[in-house]
Structure 1
Amino acid sequence: MVRDTGKGNDRAAVRCLPYGVHSYRRDLELLRDRRFALLFTARTVSVLGSAFAPVALAFGVLELAGANATTLSVVLVAQSVPQVVFMLAGGVLADRFPRYRVMIAGEVLCAAAYTVLAAMLVTGWAPLPGLVVAAALSGIGVALFFPALVGIVPEVVAAERLQSANGLLRLGTNSARIAGYALAGGTVVLVGAGPALAVSAAMFAGSALLIAALRLPPRVRSATGPATTPLTDLRDGWREFVSRQWLWVIVLQFAFLVMALQAAHGVLGPVVAKEDLGGAAAWSAVLAGEAVGMLVGVVIAIRIRPRRPMLVAVVLTLPTALPYLLLGAYAPLWTVVFGAVVMGICFDIFGVLWETSLQREVPPDVLSRVSSYDALGSLMFGPIGLLVAGPAAAVFGARPTLIACGGLIVLATLAALCSPGVRNMRLTEPVPAGTRPDDPGPVVEPVPKVVAPGT
């Protein structure tokens, strides 16, 4: 949020222009920038491939001779565990090497993994160890890609336009995700799971080619950067991560929130929908409501400029418990769908504010490592939610367990709001590109962080 600097009206007017002009047309003009357009297109195509992959992989594995739900679980675990384990390594690599090249490596690895999976499903020769190895490679590819993606946005757009850029990126990814979910099932039915996975692999390869066209100039590292070891890099990233109270508190909040979401969204919600709401069609309506909310949330998030972004972002995670509480309370389906719309809106506003705050407040040379700690911490309890959901539903019932998940979301959020760092955090003021006589180019020189009281 831009604040009056007291340095004269002309200077303040120049600094306030990007935030003061509330125009969606101006936001969309970012797509006319070649590099941002390439990043936007690459990310959208990649997410479209990611949306195809889970549906095709699930149905393809289940159709194999002798395969069952346990087989699918083994393959999915083999994919998710390396994604978490290698996330820190991805952060180190993205801070040491050109981020767009690390992103290319991640996309190429995903393309290769899904090509192998497609070949195994098409030929019918799909031993479980082979499926596990290929799935693990795709998980490593994601671990390489994600930290580099968070760090590359400030290299492509100026600091005062980061929120608009993050919003547009999410608009593209949400649209691609909706289209992918809608098209994946029909593609599997028409051509089979193997060819559908081949389409997914082609999209990852196309994304890699688009990212390669970015050709960003090399980042300037500190004099001691090249001499450090990976362990030193991890330690430095951890120091930056824990030095900001708002950052680690919200990541800890999301560790519990994601655990509840995994249990409720992955297991308990579908169980209740199958038993009492009419089956898959009812749960699809809930997911569609969430998707619509995500699109609306992005449109809102592009324009809002709260003075205390993390306070607003964390407060907005409270309503995300709504669909689970409604499901648990025997509410009509239409109210649950409405709750899912609200959840989608809140999550996407949170996401844009969070990403913008990371990119504005964390020094560029450690941004990918900090984002990898963010991802690792946020996801670390997710598998526990999946493991506990089934037994808890068997003992207590699915609806009471859903209410417990909603309660956990509320409690974790209220605990995060007790942090002074979360309540008082304010963004440092960006210096617009081209307003400094020594400005070397379109990427804005980072402004030193102003630490808010309590952080």
Structure 2
Amino acid sequence: MDQPESAAPLSHRPSWAGRNYTLLAAAAVVTNLGSHGALIAAAFAVLEAGGSGGDVGLVAMARTLPLVLFLLIGGAVADRLPRHRVMVAANALNCVSQAAFAVLVLSGEPRLWQMMLLTGLGGMGQAFFNPAAEGMLLSTVTGEQASRAFAVFRMAVQGAAIGGAALGGAMIAAIGPGWVLAVDAAAFAVAAVLRAFLDVSGIPRRLPGGGMLADLREGWREFVGRAWLWSIVAQFSVVVAVVGAAEAVYGPLVARDSLGGAGPWGLALAAFGAGTVGGALLMMRWKPRRLLLIGTLCVFPLALPSAALAVPVPAGVLATVMFVSGVAIEVFSVSWMTALHQEIPEEMFSRVSAYDFFGSLAMVPLATALAGPAESAFGRAPALWGCSVLVVVVTVAVLFVPDVRNLTRRTKDVARADRPAPASADAEGAARGLG
């Protein structure tokens, strides 16, 4: 495992912020500057091409469907191959797909199927990137300062999201969405170069096992053997789906019809980013003992943005609501990463992360695809209120899981050899019974 202490840190850099950690943070900042503006740009590219809210949902679905389908394979690959190579290859695919999308938008009238295809390629790249990136970050951080390291990392990333969303909204309003997509492509290229310099020599290489399916089964046993893990992932399969539909489909439509266009919506997303920075600053100092109980309670505010869009509230009020939800979700995110780092063996990081991402994103394609039809059937405001209610209901449900309420922070870093072994076959069978 990469030891931050041995990386000869600069005098102004904390001892836990080694070379790999710094490169990962810098690359993540660059990509977030581009991607947050690009998400808004993709929605407005569809609308400017004459598309409807349903078309915006289809493009969003085209991005998330390949992401969901390839996540488990991506996790197994990232635990078998050097993670930085997987990350660089994924960044290269994202760069090419976004560059082609930009050219398509700038050159004329893009067709819906073309935009869906290119965003789908980007989603496939993310399917391989996400488990590798999270596994690399978890492997890079050691010791009692893990929670602070995760908070600083996320603060840097979310700080970039503030500028990316605000700048993206302003650029769309001034020069159109195509150039924002081009900037995102360039950002992926820069990030790929930075990640190519990651040092994985200190991370033990996995010996060849029984193949891809055996790796996936081993990851599944680790995943389902921990009630706190699969229950929160099940919760987020609903939360991420409805919040994603609200932000990817309804948010741009409300902004266009009631808030004045892309600029105010970009500022609202920037306020969410500012909230996540505030949450990360809080978590640099606050170390709640019951990690998952506090984190889960902080999921409730995610119901607020959908409710605000349903009203709809003025742009300033929406920005305030987004800020509060950003603070809350960052408290959850740091607590969640700390729990994973504390409880999951290093050689399983990417596969467990893949099951985490897969479960959390599995319903997003369906939710975004159904957002347009739901608006037509029930109306936009009732659909948004439904999103808020679902967030509250599933979050209440997960609080009934004892492990979620009782898992506590360890005061000292525990050796990997002393951590719980992968779940037994009996535990796997019991969990499979839950579907």
Structure 2 length normalisation: TM-score? 0.83
Percentage of identical aligned residues: 37
Is 2:194 aligned against 1:204?
no
Paired residues of 1:88 and 1:373 also in contact (CA < 8 A) = yes
Residues 144-170 of structure 1: CA deviation (Å, up to 9, x unaligned): 111011111133221322212211221
5 Å matches for 1:6-85? 29=14, 33-60=18-45, 68-69=51-52, 74-85=58-69
Structure 1 residue aligned with 2:243: 261
Q: Structure 1's 261 and 290: CA in aligned 2 closer, same or farther, altered over 3 A? A: same
Aligned residues: 413
Name which of 159, 181, 188 aligns with 1:175: 159
Question: For 1:297, which of 279, 292, 296 is the aligned residue?
Answer: 279
Residue 6 of structure 2 corresponds to which residue in structure 1?
none
Provide the rounded CA distance (Å) in 2 between the counterparts of 1:57 and 1:270.
11
Residue number in structure 1 paired with 2:7: none
User: Is the 8 Å Cα contact of residues 63 and 122 (structure 2) preserved in structure 1?
Assistant: yes
Q: Does 1:362 align with 2:344?
A: yes
1:375 has 2:357 as partner: yes
Q: For residues 31 and 53 of structure 1, do their structure 2 counterparts lie closer, same or farther at Cα, with a shift above 3 Å needed?
A: farther
Unaligned runs of 5+ in 2: 1-10
Residue 233 of structure 2 is aligned to residue 251 of structure 1: yes
Give the superposition deviation at 1:30. Answer: 5.4
Contact 1:153 1:162 in 2 (8 A): no
Give me the whole-angstrom Cα distance separating, in 2, the residues matched to 1:126 and 1:322.
Answer: 34
Distance 2:78 2:341 in 1: 14
Distance change (3 Å), C-alpha of 1:352 and 1:231: same
Structure 2: distance between partners of 1:103 and 1:269 = 31
Q: 1:394 to 1:32 in 2, by over 3 A?
A: closer
CA distance change for structure 1 residues 383 and 123 in 2, over 3 Å: closer, same or farther? Answer: closer
Deviations 1:390-427 (A, max 9, x none): 44444444334433322221111111000011111124
Alignment of 1:30-429 (within 5 A): 33-60=18-45, 68-69=51-52, 74-124=58-108, 131-188=115-172, 193-217=177-201, 219-221=203-205, 225-269=207-251, 283-284=265-266, 286-325=268-307, 328=310, 335-429=317-411
Deviates more, 1:106-115 or 1:398-407: 398-407
Give unpaired runs (5+ residues) of structure 1.
Answer: 1-25, 433-443
Deviations along 1:186-231, one digit per CA (max 9) or x if unpaired, are 4456665444433322211111111111122153256xx4032101
Counterpart Cα distance in 1 of 2:315 and 2:167? 25
Is contact 2:60–2:365 with CA below 8 Å preserved after alignment?
Answer: no
CA contact (8 A) 2:72 2:216 kept: yes
Give the superposition deviation at 1:172: 1.6
Indicate how the Cα distance of structure 1 residues 344 and 190 shifts in structure 2: closer, same or farther if over 3 A, else same.
Answer: closer
Q: Distance in 1 between matches of 2:189 and 2:153?
A: 19
CA distance in 2, matches of 1:175, 1:112: 26
| Residue 367 of structure 1, CA deviation | 1.1
Q: 1:428 touches 1:449 (CA, 8 Å); kept in 2?
A: no
**Mean CA deviation greater in 93-102 or 186-195:** 186-195
Q: Pairwise CA RMSD of aligned residues? A: 3.3
Q: What is the rounded CA distance, in whole Å, between the counterparts of 1:46 and 1:33 in structure 2?
A: 20
Distance 1:166 1:392 in 2: 38
Question: Which has the greater radius of gyration?
Answer: 1
Shift of 1:333: 6.1
Q: Distance in 2 between matches of 1:266 and 1:121?
A: 19
User: Separation in 1 of the partners of 2:158 and 2:363?
Assistant: 25
